[in-house]
């Protein structure tokens, strides 16, 4: 087996820990058209291991936009800022929900929202519909 192999037990653990929702955009997997993926928070090419502490449940869009990135340029300062890290950071420390829009509370929130395109118009529409239906929740 390669070092990227994820056992069914580990996959189940990641899904359960995440509450079956993307750990970046918070979309529940029950409303997704494509199966969710396991994201190496620190990509294997950067030395990130395939173990529970380095895996996050990610929707296809968030995983595609994040890729192997660890950081991005802050749109306000131009500084290189680490992305939100689901194992080390609390969502509510970096983001808040304003209607259907994610508002950043920190530079880390700003770069994550920008890089993952969390406030793209299509994502806002989807989030608004889920909020209206009571299917979208923000962690406490």
Neighbouring-strand partners of residue 21: 28
**Torsion angles phi and psi, residue 39, rounded to 5:** -95, 130
78-128 per-position pLDDT tens digit: 999 999 999 999 999 999 999 999 999 999 999 999 999 999 999 999 999
Could you tell me whether strands 37-40 and 55-58 are parallel, antiparallel, or unpaired per DSSP bridges? antiparallel
Q: Which residues are CB-neighbours of 109 under 8 A, at least 6 positions away?
A: 84, 94, 95, 102, 103
pLDDT at position 49: 95
Per residue in 23-76, pLDDT (tens digit) is 999 999 999 999 999 999 999 999 999 999 999 999 999 999 999 999 999 999
- C-beta separation of 46 from 70 below 8 A: yes
**DSSP-assigned beta bridge partners for residue 58:** 37
DSSP one-letter code for 133: T
At 3 the pLDDT is: 55
pLDDT at residue 135 is higher than 90 = yes
Instruction: To the nearest 10°, report the CA torsion of 57, 98, 104, 39.
Output: 10
Q: Is residue 140 very low, low, confident or very high in pLDDT (cuts 50, 70, 90)? A: confident
Distances (CA, A) of 108 to 17, 24, 74: 22, 12, 8
The whole-number pLDDT of residue 139 equals: 85
At 97 the three-state DSSP class reads strand
pLDDT over 50 (residue 1): no
2 pLDDT more than 70: no
DSSP 22: -
pLDDT score of 65: 98
Does the pLDDT at position 16 exceed 90? yes
- Measure the CA–CA gap between 108 and 110, rounded to whole angstroms: 5
pLDDT attached to residue 78: 97
């Amino acid at each position: 087996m390669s070092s990227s192999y994820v056992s069914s037990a580990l996959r189940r653990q990641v899904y359960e820990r995440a509450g079956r929702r993307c750990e970046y955009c918070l979309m529940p997997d029950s409303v997704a058209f494509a199966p969710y993926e396991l994201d190496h928070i620190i990509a294997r090419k950067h030395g990130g291991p395939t173990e529970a502490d380095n895996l996050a449940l990610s929707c296809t869009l968030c995983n595609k936009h994040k890729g192997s990135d660890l950081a991005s340029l802050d749109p306000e300062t131009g500084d290189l800022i680490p992305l939100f890290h689901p194992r080390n950071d609390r969502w509510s420390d970096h983001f808040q929900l304003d209607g259907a829009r994610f508002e950043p509370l920190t530079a880390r929130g700003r770069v994550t929202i920008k890089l993952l395109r969390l406030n793209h118009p299509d994502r806002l529409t989807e989030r608004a519909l889920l909020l209206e239906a009571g299917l979208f929740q923000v962690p406490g």
